[in-house]
Structures are given as structure tokens and as C-alpha cells.
Structure 1
Amino acid sequence: MELELSYPYYFLSICLVIGLAYSLGLYFRSKKKSKLPSKFIYLLFAFRFIIVSALCAVLLEPMFKTVDEYKERPIVVFAQDDSESILLSKDSSFYINAYKDSIEVLSNQIASKYEVDFLKFGSSVNSDKLISYTDKKTNLDQLLTEIKNRYYGRNLASIIISSDGLFNSGYHPLYKEYGLDNVSIHSISLGDSTVRKDLSIQKIRHNKDVVLGNSFPVEISLLSNNFQNNEFMLSISLNSEVIHQQNIQPKLEIESFKIPIVLEASKIGLSKYRVDIQRKKGEITYQNNSSIFYVNVVDETQQVLLLAKSPHPDVSALKSALSNKIGRSINVRLLSDFDGDFSNYDLVITHRLTSQITTSISNYFKTIRKANIPVLNITGSTMAVNYGDLNLGIQMNDLKGSYAVTALVDENFNNFIVPQQMIKQLENYPPLDVPFSSNYKTTFQGSTVLFQKINGVETTYPLLHFSQLENYKIGTLLGEGIWRWRMNELMKSEKSDIFDSFLSKIIQYLLSTEKKEKFTIDVSQEFIENEPVQFFSKLYNENYELVDNVDVKLELFNDTSKVLEKLFNSSSNGYFLNINQLFPGNYSYKVSTQMGDKSYLKKGDFVVKQMKLEYLKTKADIHFLNLLSSKYNGNLYSPYSTGKLADDLLKNQQVADLINYDIKFEDIIKRKLLFVLFIVLLSGEWLLRKLLGSY
């Protein structure tokens, strides 16, 4: 324990001088005090000197410093792949039984030198030791990122990844740096690295939406392993009726096919198509011999004008995202080429038109408003000082250049559903360049879905705001750079579904013409297996005030029977209900409620799609595991040689206990003993002077 001051140590001498001067002046300046016996004068002097000096010293904020030393043993993280693909091998019974015992033996063998932590990974990372091989996805990128974050600053020595080397989400681990340069990564190769007999559907490419009466293309990717010169049949069914068949004959040991097919959209609504390839004797699994896809058939085309001030990457990103929606026609025009005719459009998207407002631009916005055409205005990084004259729902004062902001989702926003996965993605997108202002004002009724987050600080400044004046809707996205959002998602997952879906929700909301109903239901039409199904509902009284004190009931049905019956939860924004872990298939629902003597009923349907990512590849990627271990100075082991892995870890002389120091500071004034000492000294001096008749 050491004593430390907030001021230089020579200040203590000043405290002693003050105590000495005060005590000398009190007890030796008057002759009256000299009539007291000398020994008592010196005793009283000592009391006062100690008290005053100590009180002055306390003002210097003295603290006791304690340093505790403790050792942290080297840590080994054992990461187990818990995905379905592990059992697609001839050794599946070994992985279910004996292999789990070998993990326990390995942990016990190295426990004398290491602290062993167990992690399980697949679609997520957790510490559950129950290995079931049931995960639908494998994300090695998420595993390594989680380890880096969880063990930052710890004595992490090694990581053991026990996997088949197959992953289907996240970044490629070989091309990303995780800050694990001083950590060795060893791999245990699971699964089967031989090419076994299998026919599989790898991918189906198709449009999500098609127009009634039109033809639409479907491309089916197939993979044949060890079925050369064996013909098999491919068939497509619509609502259980076969509408296409063709024979395919592989000529090579391993051969892939891309089969183009043209189908007809003959019925409005959500159509279920099933693709099957003939089952052959000897296949490793039949799980990948069939696949289902859904197509939404619509009966109208929405005309959207994308009017841009100049060429920009945002314009390209917007066009690519919006063009994915069938039933919607996108016309991109530059301001310099536009003739000013808005009569054929259902929606107008403007890009950077408000950075410099001319008379013609002002007239364009007046025409749009007069025609009651909804508009999405993307401002760009600069804003004209007379922007408020356009009355587009937001006014900004004190404009000073631009700055970078990220998105913050308002989870109370309820004009349309923003699922949790979408919220997470939106808040992790790169920043946009936004016009700087500290004074925002909305000019008429509206709601904000995205706020600005500046350098990690949450604000109430709008980033994406919707305004509404009667039936006229305006969306305002402050800034530019949304092309980075779409590119970021493409880099991470090789697709931009979340960005495209969010933009589609914005467009659909702006296009919707509201005849305000007293009872509404909002639920998506398509979900992925294991994704929660979210329902949102609103109920209004005769004055169109939100009601939240009656029961709203859901009845859910699959193709054959009622699945569940459940009441919604109420909130200040309406009603909501989350349903987890529905099996893949088609579902229909009835949502009902009663308010007074009036009953309300809503019906609809949605689909839960099966996830078969783990069945697309059946051959373990041992080469990848070897490359990963080599990159991080580790080795590759078979699941039958965990004993050698234990020996190598125990023989490693480059790891040692990490000595950590825990430094604590405690204010001396918090010590009770000091308080007691002051009381004793002050009481002793007062009592002695009282007894001697000094008072």
C-alpha cells in the first residue's frame, strides 16, 4: 500500500508549517498561557499541531494506492461446428457418440496448463455444450469476430475449430483480418472429404414478382456427383400439378447444370412452385433433391420517375434495387433532359434537386404537389438556403456544410414493419453525407423512421422523415451515399435483399392511398425458417382514436389444420404478436376483435420457406481448414487424433501465465480510523483545556 497525493509532495511541508504557525500563535503568544504547567502547554501544542496539519493535508486529496497481482492461465477456445452438414458423412454415428467423449477427454488433458472455454457456432455463437448438429447455417466469420471481442485483452493462446470447413454466410475468413495475430488456430477436420453419390439442387433464380399473363424465366442450378451416364428427371409443379418435365444425363463424374425454363403467370396471388429431381439409389441424402420457390403475381404496373440532377452512384443503386420489383416500371431521367411532364407517373424520386433550387425546379415540385403525386426527395450533401420555400415537410436553418452520420432506427415507428434483422443492418450501414444543421423543424404532420447518429451519439435529428398533408405524402432522405449501403450488403452476403426490401417498403408506403380503416393488420408475406413471424395491428374508435383495451385474437392455419390460437399483446402504438419457430409451409390466418357491438375480421396468408443451405455441399472442405490453420500458425488434425493435439498444446513453450495488476485508489478521507483520530485529538485538547481552566 502506498500513499499518493493529487499535488506535489512538497505541499506537505506547507501543511506542517501552517500547523506549526497556528499552534505556536495559539499557545505561545500570550503570557497567560505560560501560567499553565509547561508539560501541558506542550501537550496542547502537539494536539493542535497534529490536527491542523492533518486537516490541511486532507485538502491535498491523499489516496491509498493498492496493487493486487494475479495470474491468468493461457486460454484455449474449443469451437464446435453444430450445423446439419456435419452428419452428411459416413461417420455420422461417430460424431453423435464417440466424438463427443473425445472432446471431453481433450479438455481434461490440457486442463492442467490451460483454461478451456467451449463455444458452439452455426447461425449464431453460444456457450451451450449440447451438440445437436441442427443449425441451418454456418458463419465462421461471426465466430472469429465473437472470439476477438469476447477475449480482447485476455490471455488467449489458441483456438481449436472443429468443423467440416463448409460455411454459407458472413465474410470469407481467409480474406478478413480479426486481430488474432498472436493466437494459433488449430483445426479438427470433420465430415467426409470424398466425393459421394448425390444429385442436388444448388440454386433457383427467379423473379419474386411477375405481372399476370406474362412469361417469366427460371434458372435451376444442379450438381451431379458420381452419376455419370445415369439419366434423371427434373420436374416442376405448381400447387401439386406438374407443369414441366425434362430428362438430364450427366457425362462427367462431377458435373453442374444450369437449366433455363420459361413459365407462365396465370393466376393472381402467391404461387407455390416445387422443383424435384429424381431420387437415385445410393445418394448420401435426399434432402437436397427438392426445393420450393414462390412467385407473387400482380395485375398492375406502377410507374416511377427517378429524376436526378446529374449522374451519381446513388441513382444506379436506386435503379438496381427498384428494378427487382416486378409490377413497377422505373424511368431514370436527368434534370437537363426532362420535359417537365409528370402526368404518367405514380411516384417521383428526386435526387439532389434541392441542392440548388432554380425557378424550374420550384415549378416541378409545385406541379407534383398539385397532381397529388407522392415524392421521395433525396437531398444530397448540400442544401439550398431557400429549401424551406418548397414546403416539403422539413425546414432546416443554419446550414453549414455537410457531415457524416449513420442511421438510428426509431423502433416506435409504425407506418410499416421494420423487422429486427433490418434494424440491425440499417444501423450497421456506412455513414451518409448529410447537410449540417442543428435546427430542424417539421412543417406538417409526419413521422421519422431513421434518426441521425453522429460519431456514435444518438440524436433526434431526422435522417429519413415522412410527411403527410391529407392524402399527399412526402418522404425526405437527408444526404447522399446510399450506394454504399447496397454495396456494403453485397460485399457481406453477395445479395442486397435488406436494402432492396427497405426501399420497397418506403415506395409502397408512399404509393399507398389511405382510406383509413378502423381495423388494420400488417404482416409480411414471406419468412425464412427460424425467422420470427411478426404481426402488427391497429384498432380505432369512431373518432379514429387508437384503442388498446380490447382483445385481438389470431387464428393460424396450415394446409391441413389450425396451428394455434393466440391473443395479441397491446402497446401504446397498437397491438403486436411474435410467433417463433414455425415449420416451413403455407399458412393462412384470421385476426378478429370486437369493440362494443361491432366485430372486425381480417384474413390473409404467408409462407415460411425451408432453409437447406447445409445440404448444398456435402464434401468437407479440408483444404480451407488447412489454409486457415496455416495462416494462424496452427495445424490440422483428424477427429481421431485429438490426443496428438493435446500433446502439442502441452508441449508448447511459447505460452505462459499472464500476470495482471489490479490497481485501486481509495481516498484517505473515507477511512473511518482517520475520522476517529480527529475526534479523539479534538476531544482530548478540549477536555484538557477545560480541566486546566483554560476556558
Structure 2
Amino acid sequence: MSTETLLYIILAGVVALLLALFQYNYKAKGAAKSNVLFAFLRFITLFSVLLLLINPKFDQVKYYTEKPNLVVAVDNSSSLKHLKQDDNAKIALNTITNNSALKDKFNIEVLSFGNTLNSSDSLSFSESQTNLDKVFRQLTQVYKNTISPTILVTDGNQTIGSDYQFSAKKYNQPIYPIILGDTIVYSDLQISKLNVNKYAYLKNKFPLEAIVVYSGKQAITTKFIVTKGNTTVFSKVVRLDQTNNSQILNVTLPANSVGVQSYKAQIIPLETEKNKVNNYKNFAVEVIDQKSKIAIVSSVLHPDLGALKKSIESNEQRVVEFVSPKEIVKQLNDFQLVILYQPNNLFKELISALEKQNKNKWIISGPKTDWLFLNNAISDYSFEVTSQTEDYQPNLNTNYTPFIVDDLNFESFPPLNATFGDAEFNQPFETILFKTVSGIKTEQPLLATLEISGRREAVLFGEDLWKWRARSYLNASSFIEFDNFIGKLVQYLASSKRKNRLEVDYNSFYNGSDDMIISAQFFNKNYEFEANASLVITLKNKKTGETITRPLVLKGNNYQVNLNGLASEDYDFTVKASPDNISVGGRFKIIEYNVEQQFLNADVTKLQQLATNSHGEAYFVNSYTALADNLLNDKRYQAIQKSSKSVVPLIDWYYLLFIITLSLALEWFIRKYQGLI
């Protein structure tokens, strides 16, 4: 409370006292004792009212005790069921959560994890992937600034993501793994890695790389074979021992027929092997008879060129060539799409040829673009000619319809550098990304597409696309999402196929452990996206004849269905839109592969190292009873008394209103009783 406020309170007390004395000692008539009581009650009333007018503020301090958290993260992947540790996991969880001493000392929070972290203690042991790296990154976001020792109930086997040792260091909490799984090392052969391209080209050979690993002491001789159906297409004798316990096998296989070709790579198991599931891996290759050629034409050097090539060629169906503006004119018919990077006067002959042949193109502009030339060379749109530049961030148009665009968290992307100004289109166009300037969203296009007389075109108003690819990697720990975005745009531009009212996006084959998602877009008769349609997919198992029908759910600007859990077979499907009765069919194959069944033992070494590095302690599943005592006796995990200080104005103190009411009521009642009223 300030000195000024204190002086006002003293002054209010003096004024209230003088007024009360004036009323009951100077002017009032009656008994002296009654006047003193009346003066006191009137003083209370006046002083309280004046206090409310002054409304002084007081500091209020509240004390409370905050218990440390005890995070219990349980592995919910199918590997625990495969290793027959699912019951042990449930018993360990119940033992910890039902310990009354632990509940008194900690706030126990139970989580389960597979590919992601879930706030649930319901365990099904059905997750098809284990990503401990993502688990620790998500735990860091929630518990970084708290005292939260973490119990990790797992076998330690990770199937996807970066090494979790590094993300666990950033978590900065003691970790106590309860190790589930057999620790006895058995003799075992496995195919630890199988690398093969997704696509191959007809009458060519495609490479296959297999890494065979042996765990055991005796020297062995076995055979590596690759089969297609009942036919063996490759075989090789493999010799391994305790010293030379791994071998990389490089194979080339012929691609003799178009379509999805299924293969099985197998290392013949030992008679004494306990786990024979990891001795084989199924894989598939889609054989195609043509390859899309994309030309990138530029007269300047820029990191964007390399980023574009990497993104486009991430799909093996496409190849990128860098060509000068003069050279490409003679070989224009060899390319399905031409990307013009920051065109200037050197592109005059090329743009003329593209317009004459009505070929698809993608123009990427920037500060080095000669818009004075480009405005005269093209007629579909124009741009203000200025000497100033501006930074523009992207903002996704969720109503874009020509193809499905996933939200890559574009708002987190760094800005593109471009010429300052607005574009004016003379033809109908659709915007993929709008411009955001200094945090203000605009309706001006940053990336747009046009479709005119069978020709498709895109224009990007900005350079530094390579920064977007880098940011996408930081967001998702992978280039895949950004490369898919560029790939979809290139696929749309490289094709002249007429748009259908129902478009379906799917892969020709899926691995058994992958997310199997089929997406679709449906348009009304004016080719506007229809968000109220009813879409269903009917699948038919070609082997058993069984049919399954599932609805597609609206998500953003497309409909999706998740087909996880289907058996590994060939499927025909039909997507049907009601009430227009429009349908599109296709087929895909699910390759049998369960990555969670590739393990024979718990990863004891890594879990023990994880505990040591985090200043925790590892326990085996049959000896974790001491864990509770260690947590209870560890002085690092003490309840903390905290205080919260708040400023409370007197007007919020409702007791003062009660005092005013009481003093007025008593004064009136006594005066009434004495006949003074």
C-alpha cells in the first residue's frame, strides 16, 4: 500500500469521526450514553463508505504445496505381445499406480506410447510402430520445467525415428526403465535392412540391397534367396561367424512386366532359431514403362535449383535436367514440364515456343526476375514493375481444389523474398498459398495455378524455396512432407488429364506397418469442391472375396479413410459418391511385414545407458520392487512449498458491505427502540 493511500485512509477516519461527533454530540439531543453509541455506529458507517471510495489495494499471499510428478510411460506396441511381455507390462503398471506411498508423494501420470504419446492407461498392445524419439520430444514439451522422474516400461526396441538417446538428453529428467523381454542371447539370423526403390522401369534391372546380421558364436553357412511367387529369381550362399557377423548383399533383379511385382527376400533360418519372423521380408516394386522428364531453366545460380531437383527426384518416376534458355528450345518435346526460374530477356525464345506449343510450365519469380519483359511476353497475368522487394510468408488456402494439399504448417515457414507489388490475372486462377505480410494475411496469391485451353501453369512469386524445405525438415524431422507437396504440384502440372468430378489419391502398394490412407476429392457440376457429399469405399479381398465398406471422413479440403488393420492381400476398391452415383475404382496391394515382430530380445544395453545418462536406474521386469523405495528415498523428489501473490482491491472484500449494513441496521433499531424515530 502506498503512502498516499495511507494518508487518504487517515483523512477518511478523521472526517468520519468529525461528522459522527458533529451529528450526535453537537447537534443531537438525548442521553449522552446513547449518543456515544450512535456516534460510534455512524463513524463505522461513514468510514467504511469512504474506504470503498478510496478502494485501497492489499497484497494477498497464498501458500500451497506442489508434489513432484511421476510419469509412467508404458510401451503399447505389438512387440510386447510378440515377446510375451504384455502381462508383465500390465502387472508393472498396476504395481506402481496402486502403491499408496508413491501416490502420497507424487502426482502419478500414466501415458502409453507407440508411434505417438497418448494420455491413456488403456493398453491394447496393438501399435504397429514404436517411436521413442517422438515420445521424449513430446515429454520435453510438457514436463521440461518440472520435477518429473519418468518410469519407462518397455523393451527398448524402436522401429521408427531418430536415436532416442539424443532426444532423451533434452528431456533432462531422471529415467527409470523397467526392461521387458528376454535378456538371454540366442543364435539368430535376420535381415536387418532391405533397401529397394519403389519404382523400376520396364526391361531394366533394379537394385536390391540386403543387410544380413548373425548373432551367435559358431560359424554357419546358409543361403540368401529372393523369390517371386514360387520362382527363385536369385540365390547366394552366405557364410558368417562371431567375428564376421554381418554381410551386405547387392542384387540386381529384372523388371519384365508392368505393374506391382511382389517379392520375398529370405535368409534360410538355423534349426535352433527362436524367432524366424525376422528371417524374411516381403517387398514390392511398381514397374512402369515411362519416366517423366522435368526441365529446370535458369540463367542464375541459386540454392532453390538444388532444392527443387531433390524434391522432384524424390519420386523415382521423375528425372530433372538443368537446361539453359537457348538449349531447351530445340529439345522442348522431350519434357513433360518446364520450370522457368526467374526468367529474363534470355527466355524470350523459350516462352514464345511454350506459348506456341501450348505446353505446361511453372514460373518461379523473384527479385532477379525481369517483370518488364515478362509482362510483355505473357498475357495471362501481369505484375507491377517496382524496384523494391518484400518478404512474404505463406498462408494455405484450405479451399484449393485442383489437387489435395496437406497443411505443412506453412505459417511456420520463413518468408520468400520477392518483388514488391500485386499480381493481376486476366484468366481464372486458383490460389494454393496466399501472401502474409508482417503478420497480416492478404488475399494476394503467393503460389497459384491456372488451367487454360488444356494447358496447366503455376506461378510462385518469391525465391528462397530451399528455406521452406529446410524448415519442413525441422518441423517433421524429414523432407518427405515437403517433397510430397512439390511432387503433387509437379504431377498436376506435368499432366494434361482432364479433371474428374471424383479424384482418388492412393498408392499402388503399402507395407503392412505403414499408415494406409486413401484420400478423395468430390466436385459438383461446376467443379467446385463439395463439402457435404457422402463418400464410401468398398474393398474386396481378391483372395477370399470378402468385401468391406467404410465411409470417408471430411478432413480439410479432402475426404479420407484409414485402412489400417487390413490383412496382407491384394484388394480391388471402389469409391462411390452419393447422391450423384459417381464412382472411381482401383487396386492396391498390402505387403506382409510387421516390423514389431523382428525383435528377439529387449534392447538392454541402450536402456541401461539411457538410465545412466539421465541419472536414473534401470530395472529388469523380475526385480523392480526396489524402484518404489528408491523413488521415495531420493531427496531430489521433494514436495515444494510455493506461494502466489495477488493484489486484492478492498471493493472485492464483501465483508465490508456486511459491516456497513449491520452498523446502519443497529443504529436504526436502537433509535427506534428508544423512540427517537
The TM-score, its normalising length taken from structure 1, stands at 0.79
For residue 610 of structure 2, give the secondary structure of its aligned residue in structure 1: helix
Once the two structures are TM-superposed, the CA of residue 493 in structure 1 deviates from its matched residue by 8.6
What is the 5 A alignment of 1:487-506? 496-506=479-489
Q: 2:575 aligns with which of 581, 587, 591?
A: 591
Which whole-Å CA distance do the structure 2 matches of 1:524 and 1:607 have between them?
A: 9
Is contact 1:12-1:57 (8 Å) kept?
no
Q: Given the alignment of the two structures, is residue 475 of structure 1 paired with residue 461 of structure 2, yes or no? A: no
Q: Given the alignment of the two structures, is residue 653 of structure 1 paired with residue 640 of structure 2, yes or no? A: no
Which whole-Å CA distance do the structure 2 matches of 1:101 and 1:437 have between them?
A: 64
After the TM superposition, which of the residue ranges 37-46 and 569-578 deviates more from structure 2? 37-46
Which whole-Å CA distance do the structure 1 matches of 2:608 and 2:509 have between them?
A: 39
Residue in structure 1 matched with residue 673 of structure 2 by the alignment: none
Residue in structure 1 matched with residue 626 of structure 2 by the alignment: 644
Q: Given the alignment of the two structures, is residue 565 of structure 1 paired with residue 555 of structure 2, yes or no? A: no
Is contact 1:548-1:571 (8 Å) kept?
no
Is contact 1:200-1:223 (8 Å) kept?
yes
Residue in structure 1 matched with residue 283 of structure 2 by the alignment: 293
Which whole-Å CA distance do the structure 2 matches of 1:17 and 1:398 have between them?
A: 69
Once the two structures are TM-superposed, the CA of residue 125 in structure 1 deviates from its matched residue by 1.5
Q: 2:181 aligns with which of 191, 197, 200?
A: 191
Residue in structure 2 matched with residue 248 of structure 1 by the alignment: 237
Which whole-Å CA distance do the structure 1 matches of 2:655 and 2:443 have between them?
A: 51
Residue in structure 2 matched with residue 417 of structure 1 by the alignment: 404
1:562 partner letter: E
Which whole-Å CA distance do the structure 2 matches of 1:118 and 1:372 have between them?
A: 61
Q: Residues 473, 252 of structure 1: CA spacing in aligned structure 2 closer, same or farther, 3 A cutoff?
A: same
Q: Residues 416, 64 of structure 1: CA spacing in aligned structure 2 closer, same or farther, 3 A cutoff?
A: farther
Residue in structure 1 matched with residue 65 of structure 2 by the alignment: 71
Residue in structure 2 matched with residue 235 of structure 1 by the alignment: 226
For residue 161 of structure 1, give the secondary structure of its aligned residue in structure 2: strand
Is contact 1:387-1:395 (8 Å) kept?
no
Which whole-Å CA distance do the structure 1 matches of 2:265 and 2:414 have between them?
A: 42
Q: 2:50 aligns with which of 42, 50, 53?
A: 53
For residue 136 of structure 1, give the secondary structure of its aligned residue in structure 2: coil
Is contact 1:70-1:660 (8 Å) kept?
yes
Residue in structure 1 matched with residue 675 of structure 2 by the alignment: none
Is contact 2:207-2:250 (8 Å) kept?
yes
Residue in structure 1 matched with residue 428 of structure 2 by the alignment: 445
Identity in percent: 22
> What is the RMSD of the two structures over their aligned residues, measured on CA atoms?
4.6
After the TM superposition, which of the residue ranges 18-27 and 141-150 deviates more from structure 2? 18-27
Q: 2:362 aligns with which of 373, 376, 392?
A: 376
Q: Deviations over 1:12-33 (max 9, x none)?
A: 53577699889999999xxxxx
Residue in structure 1 matched with residue 257 of structure 2 by the alignment: 267
Q: Residues 186, 590 of structure 1: CA spacing in aligned structure 2 closer, same or farther, 3 A cutoff?
A: closer
For residue 133 of structure 2, give the secondary structure of its aligned residue in structure 1: helix
Is contact 1:136-1:611 (8 Å) kept?
no
Unaligned runs of 5+ in 2: 671-677
Residue in structure 1 matched with residue 7 of structure 2 by the alignment: 13
Q: Given the alignment of the two structures, is residue 114 of structure 1 paired with residue 106 of structure 2, yes or no? A: yes
Q: 1:613 aligns with which of 575, 586, 595?
A: 595
Is contact 1:51-1:681 (8 Å) kept?
no
Q: 2:338 aligns with which of 329, 337, 348?
A: 348
Q: Residues 385, 503 of structure 1: CA spacing in aligned structure 2 closer, same or farther, 3 A cutoff?
A: closer
Q: Deviations over 1:201-236 (max 9, x none)?
A: 223322222232322222233223347333235132
Q: Given the alignment of the two structures, is residue 582 of structure 1 paired with residue 566 of structure 2, yes or no? A: yes
Once the two structures are TM-superposed, the CA of residue 9 in structure 1 deviates from its matched residue by 4.2
Q: Residues 667, 338 of structure 1: CA spacing in aligned structure 2 closer, same or farther, 3 A cutoff?
A: farther
Which whole-Å CA distance do the structure 2 matches of 1:427 and 1:570 have between them?
A: 19
1:538 partner letter: F
Q: Given the alignment of the two structures, is residue 143 of structure 1 paired with residue 164 of structure 2, yes or no? A: no
Q: 1:171 aligns with which of 162, 165, 173?
A: 162
Is contact 1:381-1:402 (8 Å) kept?
no
Q: Given the alignment of the two structures, is residue 434 of structure 1 paired with residue 416 of structure 2, yes or no? A: yes
Q: Deviations over 1:434-471 (max 9, x none)?
A: 13789755624333334567898877665543333443
Q: Given the alignment of the two structures, is residue 521 of structure 1 paired with residue 504 of structure 2, yes or no? A: yes
Which whole-Å CA distance do the structure 2 matches of 1:515 and 1:127 have between them?
A: 46
Once the two structures are TM-superposed, the CA of residue 317 in structure 1 deviates from its matched residue by 2.8
Q: Residues 479, 341 of structure 1: CA spacing in aligned structure 2 closer, same or farther, 3 A cutoff?
A: same
1:292 partner letter: N
Once the two structures are TM-superposed, the CA of residue 244 in structure 1 deviates from its matched residue by 0.4
Q: Residues 493, 229 of structure 1: CA spacing in aligned structure 2 closer, same or farther, 3 A cutoff?
A: farther
Is contact 2:169-2:614 (8 Å) kept?
no
Is contact 1:381-1:433 (8 Å) kept?
no
Is contact 2:199-2:288 (8 Å) kept?
yes
2:68 partner letter: P
2:245 partner letter: E
The TM-score, its normalising length taken from structure 2, stands at 0.80
Q: 1:209 aligns with which of 196, 199, 208?
A: 199
Which whole-Å CA distance do the structure 2 matches of 1:679 and 1:437 have between them?
A: 72
1:640 partner letter: N
Which whole-Å CA distance do the structure 2 matches of 1:687 and 1:513 have between them?
A: 96
Once the two structures are TM-superposed, the CA of residue 124 in structure 1 deviates from its matched residue by 1.7
Is contact 1:198-1:283 (8 Å) kept?
yes
For residue 322 of structure 1, give the secondary structure of its aligned residue in structure 2: helix
1:417 partner letter: I
Is contact 2:188-2:273 (8 Å) kept?
yes
For residue 10 of structure 1, give the secondary structure of its aligned residue in structure 2: helix
After the TM superposition, which of the residue ranges 661-670 and 111-120 deviates more from structure 2? 661-670
1:517 partner letter: N
Once the two structures are TM-superposed, the CA of residue 630 in structure 1 deviates from its matched residue by 2.0
For residue 249 of structure 1, give the secondary structure of its aligned residue in structure 2: strand
Is contact 2:267-2:279 (8 Å) kept?
yes
Q: Residues 616, 12 of structure 1: CA spacing in aligned structure 2 closer, same or farther, 3 A cutoff?
A: same
Once the two structures are TM-superposed, the CA of residue 10 in structure 1 deviates from its matched residue by 0.2
Residue in structure 2 matched with residue 160 of structure 1 by the alignment: 151
Which whole-Å CA distance do the structure 1 matches of 2:74 and 2:201 have between them?
A: 47
Is contact 1:552-1:592 (8 Å) kept?
yes
Residue in structure 2 matched with residue 31 of structure 1 by the alignment: none
After the TM superposition, which of the residue ranges 668-677 and 615-624 deviates more from structure 2? 668-677
Q: Residues 172, 333 of structure 1: CA spacing in aligned structure 2 closer, same or farther, 3 A cutoff?
A: same
Q: Residues 672, 83 of structure 1: CA spacing in aligned structure 2 closer, same or farther, 3 A cutoff?
A: same
1:657 partner letter: A
Unaligned runs of 5+ in 1: 29-33, 689-695
Once the two structures are TM-superposed, the CA of residue 587 in structure 1 deviates from its matched residue by 1.8
Which whole-Å CA distance do the structure 1 matches of 2:573 and 2:114 have between them?
A: 32
Is contact 1:451-1:461 (8 Å) kept?
yes
Once the two structures are TM-superposed, the CA of residue 509 in structure 1 deviates from its matched residue by 1.0
Residue in structure 2 matched with residue 304 of structure 1 by the alignment: 294
Is contact 1:85-1:618 (8 Å) kept?
no
Q: Deviations over 1:646-667 (max 9, x none)?
A: 3332332233111122444555
Which whole-Å CA distance do the structure 2 matches of 1:503 and 1:334 have between them?
A: 22
Which whole-Å CA distance do the structure 2 matches of 1:85 and 1:290 have between them?
A: 17
1:638 partner letter: F
What is the 5 A alignment of 1:78-117? 78-86=72-80, 92-93=83-84, 95-98=85-88, 100-107=90-97, 108=99, 111=102, 112-117=104-109
Q: Deviations over 1:512-532 (max 9, x none)?
A: 224243444343434454625
2:524 partner letter: Y
Q: Deviations over 1:554-576 (max 9, x none)?
A: 32112222331245567996865
Once the two structures are TM-superposed, the CA of residue 505 in structure 1 deviates from its matched residue by 1.0
For residue 248 of structure 2, give the secondary structure of its aligned residue in structure 1: strand
Which whole-Å CA distance do the structure 2 matches of 1:387 and 1:26 have between them?
A: 91
For residue 315 of structure 1, give the secondary structure of its aligned residue in structure 2: helix
For residue 231 of structure 1, give the secondary structure of its aligned residue in structure 2: strand
